[in-house]
Structures are given as structure tokens and as C-alpha cells.
Structure 1
Amino acid sequence: MDHTEHFYGRSAAGMPSVASTAAPTPQRPGTPSESVGRNPFGDGVESQASHRSSGNPANPFASPDASRPASSLDSASALGRYDGGQRYFHSRRVRKGEIEKPWTKQADPKEKWVTILPLLGIFIGLAISGVLVWDGIRSVVKHKYCLVLEEDWSNGFNEKIWQKEVQVGGFGNGEFEQTTGGDQNVYIENGNLIIKATPQDDALMQQDYTINLLKDGTCTSKLPADCIAVTNITTGNSSIVPPVLSGRINTRPGATIKYGRVEVTAKLPAGDWLWPAIWMMPRDSVYGPWPQSGEIDLMESRGNNYTYPQGGNNIMSSALHWGPNPANDGWWRTNVKRQALHTTYSAGFNTFGLEWSQKYLFTYVNSRLLQVLYVNFDTPMWSRGNFPTQDANGTRIVDIWSSTGRDQTPFDQPFYLILNLAVGGTNGWFEDNVNGKPWLDASPNAKKDFWQAKDKWFPTWTQPQMEVSKVMMWQQCDGDEDL
């Protein structure tokens, strides 16, 4: 049996296979080893013998090239070939010269504007934006600030700077707390100032009892209503002494500013009907009683949780109070809320800030870029308020601020800082009939109703204190503060 027949074998009919009957391939002189098994069709398809002779083992699962139909074997120019005998695809369907080349055609002159106009619009937009940014930066008044107060409580409670307010009258809001002057409700702990609310002694609610702060000389107000409270059960009177003790402090003795900056870093309380506040009042009521001389609220919040409709300890608000009388307070025109981002203001410390000048006033949280309330003093506050010409009693309402000639009046006088934790109240800060509020603002039994619901609200007081780690106050000192 010859070599070819031995490799491919015979068919079942005894006839030699195609490989055994193929004509011998002529050898090129000088290359006998390359000529072995070369395909006579010259299409680059080599026999397995050539692979075997070249030292490459043949694929035992591959069909012999000679057994393929002739239609599968094309010329080398059609299939292509590079060194090594491998073939690559070459399309017969696209002939040379038939490929479209639109980029070689001459473009319509108008088509360039399709590119030029959008680019021109972008350039003009960027130029306008740049001018606006430049003008905004140029127009911002840059002030020089001088430090007035830097308080971190490392030296304890400095009574030359701070005053503890001691009263029982509710501070005009019908609040339910008695503010104390000792260390029970205002004290330093772990380097922070703590203002804590605690329940009053229940025995003072069950018997006739009088708190008279005028008698012991501790009251910080001169009004009897602010200094005297009574529980009266003998005559069936519904009055009781304040059901809660808490604290309120201010910087009136040693730190006031007229234009400048204030920053208070604090963690707010958690508990129903707690009312923390960081705010400012005028040192002197130059334009008259509240709110004629103004009020600046950097932060007010509620201790209720996030489900409280008016906003619990996940919401803080800033406001200005200003107007000819309490019935015409323009605070609702200058009141803005800010929600904590995926947290609450009682979960950690935040910095509540104020920047105040002759031209503007704004509050912020943690960064001056995170503004809450912004008021531009480009219009007289009286005009902004759009107040009526007379009050409900028919008394004429007169513009009490126009004589100064300043748009920012009444916010053109020295103010001092107040930190306090109130509880309850009858001024509407906690809306009636919302989230189980246990008292009605107009009820003479409001404080008593609140106290009798102690079993409901006291368990929620998981954090009944406002903690303050730092207080900073700066005075504008570039010469314009006298305007």
C-alpha cells in the first residue's frame, strides 16, 4: 500500500479515496520538502500531508481539503493569503469603485452654518455667564470683621459675658417652662454648654403653692407677671406653676454687634413639644416695643420627630420679626425653612450662622453657601411690609422707621444673642389638634392640660437638651458699621 493510500485508506467500495488518486504535485527545484502534499489547485488550501511533513500535526477531525466541493475552493486572489497559508475574508459583493465617498463631494456652503451657529451660541452664552459672575463678585461688599466673642466654655460660664434669665411668665409666648438661674438646667458638661428641660416637682401641682422670684430677688424681669406664678387648688382655680424647668441665656452683658457675623455650633433636642431657639434681640428698643425694634431668628426648631406635620427636629427655620405692632408682624414675609439632609438636627452638631450688613442679611447652616433666609435691604422695610393704615381698633398706624432714611431699619441697631430651650406655648408655634397636642392655645387650662398628659410626652424626651459647643461673634469694623 503506497503512502497516500495508507494514510487515507480506501472507501467501502474498495475504491481509492480522492487523495490516493490525485495527480502528483510537481516539485519546485531546490524545495523538495515544501512540495510534498501541496494542493494542485493553488488556492492556498494545503493537504494534511503538507502539515504532517512540515512538522505540524494534522487535525484528525478536519475533512481533507480535497474532499471539499470545488465551489468552496477559489483562487488566491479571491480568498487572499498571507504567509502561513491562512485565509481571510474578502467580500465579492462590493467591487472596487462602487463604495460611496460622500466626504469627497463638495459641501453646500450653507451647511457650515449648521456647525457655526451652535458654537457661536455656546460662546455667547459662556461670555454672558462670565460677565454676570464677574459683576456679581465685583458687586459683593467685602467687609472687615473684628472678633467680639469666641466662646468654647473652656473657662466655664462667664457671667461677664452671659446672663441666665430667670422668669416664670412664658416670655410673651405662653411657654410652659420656668427658667432657672442655678446649675440644674444650664451647666457645662464634657466641654459643652447644656440647656436642659426637666419636669417640675409634681407636688407643686397638687397643692396651693406660689413661686415669687421678686421676693428672693432672682427674677431678671421687673414685671410681676414674669416673676410670680401660683398653683391654686383650694378655690378650684385652674392655674398652676410652670410644669417644666429649663434655661435661657443671653450675651447682653458682654457681647452685642451692629452688623457682622454670628455662628453657633449646637446639637438640638429630641422630644415632643420642646422648642429650641438661637436668636437675637435689640439691646435698646429704639423704635418701640416688640416687634417695632425687630428680632432676628437664626434658628428655631421643634423636638418632635420627623412625622410632625409642621416639621420636627429634621426642620429648622430662620425669620425676621418686624412691624408696627404684634398684630401686624411681617415675619411671614421673611421666614424660610431648611430640612436636614437624610438626618435630623438632633443627631449631631451643626453650625447655625448669620451674616448681617447694611445691604443684606442672611442665615445659613454649616456653610455660607447653604443659605436659609436671605433679605436684600434694597427696599424700605416699611414698604416691604405693606402694613394697613390703621389697626383693628381704628388707631392710625404711622411709619415709625422712615425718619432714619435707611432701608434696613429697624435692623440698624446693636443686637445681642439668645440661646434657649422653651417647652410648649400658646402662640401657635405648635398648631392645635395636630399630632395629639394635649392642649389648646386659647384654653385657660393649657399648662394644666399639658402637665396631665405627661405620661405621653415625657417618654419621648430621649434627648431633652440643647448642647452648644461653640459661639462666635464678629463685629463689622471697616467704618461702615455706623451707617
Structure 2
Amino acid sequence: MVSLTCTFGLLSSAASLTSAALLPKSANPFLTPYASQDPSRNTSSAALDQSVATQRYFHSRRVKKGEIERPWTKVKDPKEKWVTIIPLIGMLVGFIIAGYMVWDGLSTVVNHKYCPVYMSDFPNSGLESDIWTKEAEVGGFGNGQFEETTVTTENVFIQDGMLHIKPTLQDASLIEKNSVINLQVDGICTSSLWTNCITGTNTTNGTIANPVKSGRINTKKGASIKYGRIEVEAKLPAGDWLWPAIWLLPVKKVYGEWPESGEIDIVESRGNNYTYPQGGNNIVSSSLHWGPDSVNDAWWRTNVKRNALHTTFGKKFHTFGLEWSEKYLFTYIDTRLLQVLYTTFTKGGLWERGHFPEANSNGTKYVDPWSQTGRPSTPFDQDFYLIMNVAVGGTNGWFQDDKNGKPWVDESPDPRKDFWNARNNWYPTWNQSGEMVVKSVKMWQQEGYNGCP
């Protein structure tokens, strides 16, 4: 309908004025105007009410479009159009930039072809002896670590199709009494340094043998890559002062001793819980180690951390990956899209990037061992092999002093002994998940290198 007519108990404005003048002062304008509803009223009053009843009450109707003038629409502001044009221009520019970024990203991605080098989901038959080496040493691998790495199935074993690297307590008899651990005599020491093969307890001077045992294994014997990809599906350990790592070292020290020839850390973490200030098993990090000597290791320039959202890396399995080429190197978790460390090998090389001093503290001038190759990726341009281990403690600062009840001080006379004496506090935290569990290891060689056509 074009219009609506509503009759209410109110008079229209014109009728109200007229009726109000006719009604006596005593009359109630809100009473019904129909005389038949009140027979006690006199004739004149009824007649008056009847006349009022014939008046039109409040009348409402829908106004047709165009009946009311809108003069403000006839005046145009010349600047008003820019209120629409400017946002449209901004949107267009945004789409152009986004499109260019997508195009640039896709055009620069190199989808390398690979040859499989090693693929294993660890059958219960055991580690392949032609691929893996169980390391046996007591030296702490240069970090003052507390573990003795063993070749026994106590610390490295396969169970239910998964590899386990599990730290355990040292034999108490080797700690509490004078003793000697000589891995050279046993013929199992895998280090060329005698200090990494011999240790013991001396009750006179208060030093003790390594307070714990653990495992470290590597593929140096049978699987290495020069550029390529690696994926390790693993669950990291949870337990105080544990130090799990999945990393790579060069097969040959082409450019000199560590870190001149480089080190690639795919992932390392701490077993402490999330309250640990430096980050517990809720945080992992990836890094590269490179420099003219250990004092000038530039790892801090290529180190990135990744936090596990609302969980820890000891709760479930994750794929820890590395993609490495002559132009870039990056690590990732679960998918190549979730990158941790990303490093490009740019013109000028790592020597220029490191900004190293001209000489060491003795005044000996540093010589650039890398730029002479003409490859920006040097020293990360050689064959590297995979290492997996669970270290314990250490005196290199990985666990800072005076944090979360750390039971030893790095510079104390015998931090190993301090650690052993506090075993009733830290060892129970290893009971549930104090081991690294590995489902699979996959290694690929990039096409064009090491016999990969």
C-alpha cells in the first residue's frame, strides 16, 4: 500500500485545537467520544461527543520518494570524490605490491632435484654398522660436558622401530672410589686425543669421573652430503640439564680446526621446563659456527630461536629439517614454510660478514681461509655428516650460573662433583621423558654434487 491510516486515541493536531475549544473545562479529553457508551450523560454532552467522534484522529502515511525536498543534495563538494578515490588507489597499490612480492618469491625459489643418500626408519635389526658410528669418549667434546658417551645398548638402542638415545647415571663405584676409565685400553675410544679417552676418580684431590653416561652417534662412516636436504623426525628429551642436539660437522677439516671448517646445528635445546630463563624444552635454536678460532666464533650472527606454542618439543614428534645449497641454507620445523634459521651466502663471503679482528690476543695476524675459494658459501661448501646426541651439563655457558638452582658453577674446582652430589634433585626429572626418540632419518644429495647427476 502507498499509505497507511492509523486511528489511535489521539486527535490530529488540527482537530485537537478545534475540539479543545468546544469541550467544557470539566470534560476529560481521554474519555471515549461515543455517547452510547455512557447513557447517563446529557443530550448536549452526547451531541458534542458525537461531533468530536466525527473528527479525524492522528493520521500517518508513508511519504512517497521524492515528495520531500532535500536541498543539501543539490550542493556538491568538489573534494568529496577523493574520499572514495584515495582508498581505491591505496587498495590498487597494495594489490600491485602484493602481486610483485608473490611473483618475486616464486621466481627466486629454486626447486632443486635430489638423490637419496640415506633413508631409515630404524628397523629392530639395529643400527646399520656401515652407516652409523657410536662415539665413545669422556672429554666433554670441548664444552666441558659431564657425560661419558658409550657404545652400549644402555644408552643407544632401537626399540619398537625407533632409535633411543638415553642418558643414565654413572656406576656409583666409579665415582665414590679411586678409579680409572681408559677407553684406549678397551680399544673403543673414537677420539684421537688421549684426554678424551682417559678419566677417573681421585678421592685425594676430589675429582671424579664423568657422573653420567649417554650416547652420541654419527654418519661419518657412510652418509654425508655437500648441499642437499636432511630431515630427522624426533621427540626431544625433557629433564633438567639435558642438552639434545642434531647437527653436522665436516668430513674433512679443509679450512682448519673448529670452527674454521664450520658446523651446522639443525636443532639444539635444553631439557629443563619452560620456566628456565634461557629457554627450556619449549624453545629450540639453529645456528652456524664459523670463525678463525674458537674465541672469534661468529655463531651469534647466525643463530635463531623458535618457540613451541602452548607446548614443548618433548611432548610429540617433530620433523627437524635442513635445506642447504651453494646460495643459501635454512633450517625448519615440520614444514619448509616454518623456517628457523635462514642464511644467504652473499658476495664478499663469510669472512667479510664476520668483521673479525686483524689479529688474536697474542698479536698473530688472522689469515682469511675462505675468500680464496671464490665461493660465498665457504666453509659450508664441503661434505658434512650428521650427528645426534644427548649431552648433559657443561661448563661453556650453555647453562648459565645461578639460574633455576643450577647445582654447579662453571669455574668451580670440580663442577662434575657438584653435579653428582645434586643427583637426587635432577635425576628424577629424567624418569618420564629423559631421552631423545627418533622415528626416522632422511638425507638427500643435491643434484650435480657427489655423484648425483
1:407 corresponds, among 370, 376, 379, to 376
Distance in 2 between the 1:261 and 1:10 partners? 99
| Alignment pair present for 1:74 and 2:50 | no
Amino acid at match of 1:351: T
Deviation readout 1:168-219 (Å, 9 max, x if unpaired): 1111111111111121110111211000011011121111111111111111
Instruction: Tell me, yes or no, if the aligned pair for 2:241 and 2:270 is still in contact at 8 Å.
Output: yes
* Corresponding residue for residue 194 of structure 1: 164
Percent identity of paired positions between Structure 1 and Structure 2: 56
| Alignment pair present for 1:441 and 2:375 | no
Q: Give 3-state SS (helix, strand or coil) of 1:166's partner.
A: coil
| C-alpha displacement of 1:15 | 6.6
Instruction: Tell me, yes or no, if the aligned pair for 2:225 and 2:450 is still in contact at 8 Å.
Output: no
* Corresponding residue for residue 90 of structure 1: 61
Q: Give 3-state SS (helix, strand or coil) of 1:332's partner.
A: helix
Amino acid at match of 1:231: T
* Corresponding residue for residue 226 of structure 2: 258
1:20-419 map, 5 Å: 70=52, 73-74=55-56, 79=59, 89-90=60-61, 97-100=67-70, 105=74, 107=76, 111-154=80-123, 155-233=125-203, 236-379=204-347, 380-419=349-388
Instruction: Tell me, yes or no, if the aligned pair for 2:226 and 2:381 is still in contact at 8 Å.
Output: yes
Distance in 1 between the 2:248 and 2:43 partners? 112
| C-alpha displacement of 1:149 | 1.2
Instruction: Tell me, yes or no, if the aligned pair for 1:298 and 1:354 is still in contact at 8 Å.
Output: yes
2:441 corresponds, among 459, 468, 471, to 471
Distance in 2 between the 1:246 and 1:425 partners? 14
Q: Which runs of 5+ in 1 are unaligned?
A: 1-7, 23-65, 80-88
Amino acid at match of 2:445: Q
Q: Give 3-state SS (helix, strand or coil) of 2:248's partner.
A: strand
Instruction: Tell me, yes or no, if the aligned pair for 2:226 and 2:450 is still in contact at 8 Å.
Output: no
* Corresponding residue for residue 428 of structure 1: 397
Change (3 A) 1:469 1:425: same
Instruction: Tell me, yes or no, if the aligned pair for 1:338 and 1:372 is still in contact at 8 Å.
Output: yes
Instruction: Tell me, yes or no, if the aligned pair for 1:291 and 1:321 is still in contact at 8 Å.
Output: yes
Q: Give 3-state SS (helix, strand or coil) of 2:379's partner.
A: coil
Distance in 2 between the 1:213 and 1:349 partners? 34
Q: Which runs of 5+ in 2 are unaligned?
A: 1-34
* Corresponding residue for residue 14 of structure 2: none
Instruction: Tell me, yes or no, if the aligned pair for 2:235 and 2:315 is still in contact at 8 Å.
Output: yes
Change (3 A) 1:307 1:100: same
Distance in 2 between the 1:69 and 1:420 partners? 107
TM-score of the superposed pair, with normalisation by structure 1: 0.80
Q: Give 3-state SS (helix, strand or coil) of 1:171's partner.
A: helix
Distance in 1 between the 2:363 and 2:307 partners? 41
Change (3 A) 1:181 1:72: farther
Distance in 1 between the 2:195 and 2:274 partners? 35
| C-alpha displacement of 1:137 | 1.6
Instruction: Tell me, yes or no, if the aligned pair for 1:294 and 1:410 is still in contact at 8 Å.
Output: yes
Change (3 A) 1:71 1:404: farther
Aligned length: 416
| Alignment pair present for 1:455 and 2:424 | yes
Distance in 2 between the 1:309 and 1:481 partners? 46
Distance in 2 between the 1:451 and 1:479 partners? 48
TM-score of the superposed pair, with normalisation by structure 2: 0.85
Give me the CA root mean square deviation: 2.7
Deviation readout 1:85-119 (Å, 9 max, x if unpaired): xxxx3279x9984431655x374565434423332
Distance in 2 between the 1:72 and 1:347 partners? 86
Q: Give 3-state SS (helix, strand or coil) of 2:140's partner.
A: coil
Amino acid at match of 1:13: S
Change (3 A) 1:73 1:191: farther
In terms of mean alpha carbon deviation, does 158-167 or 138-147 score higher? 138-147
| C-alpha displacement of 1:67 | 7.4
| C-alpha displacement of 1:121 | 3.0
Q: Give 3-state SS (helix, strand or coil) of 2:189's partner.
A: coil
Change (3 A) 1:91 1:138: closer
In terms of mean alpha carbon deviation, does 287-296 or 211-220 score higher? 211-220
| C-alpha displacement of 1:229 | 1.0
Distance in 1 between the 2:119 and 2:447 partners? 17
Instruction: Tell me, yes or no, if the aligned pair for 1:10 and 1:17 is still in contact at 8 Å.
Output: no
